[in-house]
Amino acid sequence: MYQTLVEALEWASSQLHKISDTPKLDAEVILLHIIHQQRGYLYTWPDERLTSDQVTAFGEMVARRLLGTPIAHIVGEREFWSLPFMVNPTTLIPRPDTEILVETALNLPLADSARVLDLGTGTGAIALSLAYEKPEWQITAVDKIIEAVALAKANRAHLKLPQVEIVQSDWFDSVACYDFNLIVSNPPYIDETDEHLSQGDVRFEPQSALTAGEEGFADLYHIASCARDYLAPGGYLLLEHGYQQAIQLRKKMIELGYENVATVRDFGSNDRCTLGRWPR
Ligand code: GLN
């Protein structure tokens, strides 16, 4: 058995390598969550002993990870845009890939008081990160899942960003503003038959946040089509999509009348977001 921090890490890593590509990191994240410390602590005090409650809690969390449960669900939190977001199984765990969408949005030439809409906000990661960087932007975030709305509101409170409006809406259904300067979304875009859906963390995330019909394009097309009625002249639409969906989505957005349609790559060099401007 293990008694010290370093022993706990060694034991957990030796178990977790069976199911995870990052066993040491997983073990560290779980252990830090239990001892309420930052990473450096493990290396400064490797021989500190765990209490018996901590040993029990650590063993239980490692056991959940061995069953495949995502680390973010075990510790209830995931960092995005260097901000801590509470997560739960009712919606998508924020992905580092999506930070490129936030960065692209922040680089747009928008007014200080720009009106912004985030569709399918989930944890609120995109909307709240934008609000953190641009406190004057008038941001509305919607999600159709009531539990996701509650989670986004909890993150709003935790991050102290009360200016963000969060409402339940199935895409645009309950949106009553027609002059957004920017509409962003990370909608479900994975094809329903994609084999990756039966592997790794996505098994624990809701299908409603991951998959869409028409080979993953159904929601992207629906949003691109409807957004034309909700954008101010000269407003931008910015959508996250799969790495193989850029060409087809650009074609669709051009057909729908968007101008300056362009794709941005994520930090892994994959096509990740496509942007278009509604004509003036
Ligand atoms: N990029 C995510 C994945 O591959 C999917 C996110 C989404 O469907 N919006 O798991």
Q: Is residue 128 part of a domain?
A: yes
Q: What is the pLDDT of residue 170?
A: 98
Cα–Cα distance between 194 and 110 in angstroms, integer?
37
Distance 235 CA to ligand 1 centre (A): 25
Minimum CA distance residue for ligand 1 atom 9: 188
Q: What is the pLDDT of residue 1?
A: 82
Which CATH number fits the domain that encloses residue 18? 1.10.8.10
Q: What is the pLDDT of residue 115?
A: 98
Distance 190 CA to ligand 1 centre (A): 7
**137 annotated ligand-binding residue:** no
Ligand 1, from 195, 210, 245, 265: best to mutate by most atoms within 8 Å of Cβ? 210
Q: What is the pLDDT of residue 75?
A: 97
Distance 97 CA to ligand 1 centre (A): 9
Q: In the block, which residue shows the tokens 């509305």?
A: 140
pTM, whole model, 2 decimals? 0.95
Backbone angles phi, psi at 267, to 5 degrees: -75, -10
Q: Which atom of ligand 1 is nearest to the CA of 97?
A: 1
Cα–Cα distance between 181 and 179 in angstroms, integer?
6
Q: Which atom of ligand 1 is nearest to the CA of 188?
A: 8
Q: What is the pLDDT of residue 53?
A: 97
Is the domain of 55 the same as that of 116? no
CA angle, corner 279, sides to 166 and 185, nearest 5?
A: 30
Ligand 1, from 185, 186, 265: best to mutate by most atoms within 8 Å of Cβ? 186
Q: Is residue 27 part of a domain?
A: yes
Q: Which atom of ligand 1 is nearest to the CA of 189?
A: 8
Q: Is residue 83 part of a domain?
A: no
Which CATH number fits the domain that encloses residue 113? 3.40.50.150
What's the pLDDT tens digit per position in 142-163? 999 999 999 999 999 999 999 9
Is the domain of 57 the same as that of 93? no
Distance 253 CA to ligand 1 centre (A): 20
What's the pLDDT tens digit per position in 1-19? 899 999 999 999 999 999 9
Q: Is residue 82 part of a domain?
A: no
Q: Which domain holds residue 53?
A: 5-68
Q: Is residue 34 part of a domain?
A: yes
What is the per-residue DSSP string for 109-139?
Answer: ---TT-EEEEES-TTTHHHHHHHHH-TTSEE
Q: Is residue 244 part of a domain?
A: yes
Q: Which atom of ligand 1 is nearest to the CA of 242?
A: 1
Structure tokens at 101: 């969408």
Distances (CA, A) of 209 to 94, 130, 133, 202: 11, 21, 25, 10
Q: Which atom of ligand 1 is nearest to the CA of 186?
A: 9
**124 annotated ligand-binding residue:** yes
Which residue ranges in the chain fall short of pLDDT 50?
A: none
Is the domain of 102 the same as that of 50? no
**Ligand 1 contact, 95 CB (< 6 A):** yes
Is the domain of 35 the same as that of 126? no
**Ligand 1 contact, 189 CB (< 6 A):** yes
Name the domain count of the chain.
2
Distance 189 CA to ligand 1 centre (A): 7
**278 annotated ligand-binding residue:** no
CA angle, corner 66, sides to 62 and 67, nearest 5?
A: 120
Q: What is the pLDDT of residue 39?
A: 92
Cα–Cα distance between 177 and 162 in angstroms, integer?
19
Q: Which atom of ligand 1 is nearest to the CA of 211?
A: 8
Cα–Cα distance between 266 and 59 in angstroms, integer?
36
**201 annotated ligand-binding residue:** no
Q: What is the pLDDT of residue 5?
A: 97
